[in-house]
Structure 1
């Protein structure tokens, strides 16, 4: 029995140290640095949590990604904060600010936002994308006549290209040779009721943003005043609070891993980001971390505790069943001894020869020795059944010897 318990305990320890893996799906749009951000997040979470597996999914658009969250087909998503409220979706934390870039061909005579937008082919992203929605709000803010705005979904044929993304590299800007960057205002007006501050007042999810002089080489011979919107890590509302808490804490406290991707992530991944600007409310798991209301030990390890308890119950049931099986097996063995002994006892009344009696006595003694050997080897138990068998075997030997004395006495009377 002891030889069997030890392997069972080892198996239990191995299983309890490796509970069921939790699988999470993470969707992102392959725009700007989002793929690299998602890949680094995947690597970080899987290295920090041994029972977590992250499956990355490349999305086809912001609305489709939110649909996947809302319908519980996806757990995590990178989504711009410029989306409408959805049931079943919550924010976790701000990742970085996406900057509105409006490129236009140098040959155009641009004196205002209106002159840039009217009667020209504009590329403003996919329909219902955050870029598209933002530009529609800008058209509304400036009170533009939509009949004079020509939108194309083919970037190559457009003379005005709008991108909501991270900061461009010098290599990426080569795609915009012959273009200029539009500035909404003069930088000295920031803080003095500038137009971008008016836009942000009406659309509070937007913030004024300045691309400094020289940051984009020839594109920024003067500072460019524009707008930005936060990219947010969002989760499905039904995701466990402990998981969201752990993921939020892990990624915000390891922000240095992400800052090499783009400078905007240095200020984006912060614990003190402005939660009031989130268009989709925080998940309770993220809130508990940001407010330092950490889950209790029981809440954090409830799932693991349930797994371990299930394993303990299963293991205990297995040990009990094994014990019963071992006991039954030993009982079956002693029953074999009983059966053999009863066969001998039944033959005693009809026994006619002393030699037969001696043979049966030896048979009983051999069985006694074998029973003792099995007892020492723990193949039999020294219980009442064993003790009764030993007493019964002694009694049988005495009966055999008594019968042999009777046979001898008869033989002596016959020969005399």
Structure 2
């Protein structure tokens, strides 16, 4: 009898302690990312009794992408300002991170150019999202990098760039003696302002306004700046049901995250713009986000067979013209790709800085021409166009890297 009771107890205990399914979650320690990750861990483990979320802290952006792309980690948080890597999918947008540029009193903050040249500039850790964004801004304004004193020590800087959530009053105390830079006057928004030009060439960035008085003495007038979305990414091979459940749980419990930052309330939305994602959406997230969307036939079934026949007839009539136009535009973007690949193939052979600068200007001129053709509707803003723009930015970064190597070699030879 005793043996039977022991066996029954063991069976009951095993039933009450099911095997946990582990998921690894990686994030960097910038801004409120750690607090967001911990809230997500608590929420998922509370909602799913058989889930065990293991947090990994302090990784760089590249390390996060590499660990998920290689399949070693399941979930991560990164800015929507990273290049696509195979093996990674998006799940949803978390919230908008805001670019804050503080400059000391006495530094000329009348324009972005004078701001960059007037004092040492802190732009975050090398290859961090803040660093990459500021380098793109230097490029957009056509600044000479050799004249910009970039520092990685915030204490030495007269200008400090920070990509993060909204600041609390206590956090702003660290910037006493500083002013907050505004890219433009708020009245210029919607009238071809500078931030709209930046967003046109860097479509993952969006204009953002910090309202008057929102930051007390720092915002005596509205501050016009830029924002980029923090997104949740997942391993591409992760099960659809898991991604679907996780996405649904976090988006439907967004109130849990609003204590971290007000921006999360508007960021964690089921109706966020999927078109802004720089990394393709995971099918598990897509099935949740699009679950209530009726198909074309379901929405217009009442129009009957006649309406459907008309649509099919019109479609059949224009399909040939559409294909011809698409092929014509594709041939044009292929010419840009061919020229860009020729430049990329010559980078290892470049031996002088003037040659590298010449190629940077050549790529930038091609970018401008592509945008002009896009505006004139001679090119289409499809995936090929977006990939070309990302590849051209990557080529410019490679050329700049080559310049740094050449400078270093010359310096070592001189010494």
CA distance in 1, matches of 2:3, 2:283: 47
Partner of 1:111: 110
TM-score normalised by the chain length of structure 1:
0.67
**Structure 1 residues 66-75 or 251-260, which shifts more?**
66-75
- Deviation digits for residues 42-86 of structure 1, max 9, x if unmatched? 111001000000111112311111111112221111110011111
Is the CA contact 1:24–1:53 (under 8 Å) kept in the aligned structure 2?
yes
Partner of 2:74: 75
CA distance in 2, matches of 1:291, 1:182: 40
CA distance in 2, matches of 1:285, 1:158: 45
CA distance in 2, matches of 1:96, 1:147: 35
Partner of 1:138: 137
* Shift of residue 110, structure 1, vs aligned partner: 2.3
Partner of 2:233: 234
- Deviation digits for residues 215-248 of structure 1, max 9, x if unmatched? 0000000000000000001111121111111000
**Bigger Rg, which one:** 1
* Shift of residue 20, structure 1, vs aligned partner: 2.1
Partner of 2:168: 169
Please state whether the residue corresponding to 1:200 is helix, strand or coil. helix
* Shift of residue 120, structure 1, vs aligned partner: 2.4
- Deviation digits for residues 238-282 of structure 1, max 9, x if unmatched? 211111110000000000010111011011000111111111111
| 2:91 is equivalent to residue 92 of structure 1 | yes
Is the CA contact 2:108–2:118 (under 8 Å) kept in the aligned structure 1?
no
CA distance in 2, matches of 1:54, 1:89: 19
Is the CA contact 2:95–2:267 (under 8 Å) kept in the aligned structure 1?
yes
Segments of structure 2 that go 5 or more residues without pairing to the other structure are 294-415
Is the CA contact 1:119–1:148 (under 8 Å) kept in the aligned structure 2?
no
CA distance in 1, matches of 2:247, 2:108: 47
Please state whether the residue corresponding to 1:50 is helix, strand or coil. coil
| 2:223 is equivalent to residue 198 of structure 1 | no
**Structure 1 residues 87-96 or 17-26, which shifts more?**
17-26
Partner of 2:298: none
Partner of 1:122: 121
Is the CA contact 2:99–2:225 (under 8 Å) kept in the aligned structure 1?
yes
Partner of 1:245: 244
The structure-2 alpha-carbon separation of the partners of 1:16 and 1:291, relative to structure 1 and needing over 3 Å to count, comes to farther
Is the CA contact 2:184–2:195 (under 8 Å) kept in the aligned structure 1?
yes
CA distance in 2, matches of 1:256, 1:78: 19
* Shift of residue 23, structure 1, vs aligned partner: 0.4
Please state whether the residue corresponding to 1:99 is helix, strand or coil. strand
Please state whether the residue corresponding to 1:251 is helix, strand or coil. helix
Segments of structure 1 that go 5 or more residues without pairing to the other structure are 295-416
Partner of 1:382: none
The within-5 A match list for 1:271-310 is 271-292=270-291
Partner of 1:207: 206
CA distance in 1, matches of 2:17, 2:283: 27
Please state whether the residue corresponding to 1:40 is helix, strand or coil. helix
Partner of 2:302: none
- Deviation digits for residues 326-376 of structure 1, max 9, x if unmatched? xxxxxxxxxxxxxxxxxxxxxxxxxxxxxxxxxxxxxxxxxxxxxxxxxxx
* Shift of residue 143, structure 1, vs aligned partner: 1.0
* Shift of residue 18, structure 1, vs aligned partner: 4.8
The 4+ residue runs of structure 1 with deviation greater than 4 A are: 2-18
**Structure 1 residues 105-114 or 37-46, which shifts more?**
105-114
State the Cα RMSD in Å.
2.1
The structure-2 alpha-carbon separation of the partners of 1:249 and 1:221, relative to structure 1 and needing over 3 Å to count, comes to same
* Shift of residue 12, structure 1, vs aligned partner: 5.8
The structure-2 alpha-carbon separation of the partners of 1:11 and 1:271, relative to structure 1 and needing over 3 Å to count, comes to same
Partner of 1:150: 149
Is the CA contact 1:92–1:283 (under 8 Å) kept in the aligned structure 2?
yes
| 2:253 is equivalent to residue 266 of structure 1 | no
CA distance in 2, matches of 1:196, 1:93: 25
| 2:7 is equivalent to residue 22 of structure 1 | no
CA distance in 2, matches of 1:134, 1:109: 21
* Shift of residue 17, structure 1, vs aligned partner: 6.2
CA distance in 1, matches of 2:71, 2:27: 15
CA distance in 1, matches of 2:150, 2:108: 19
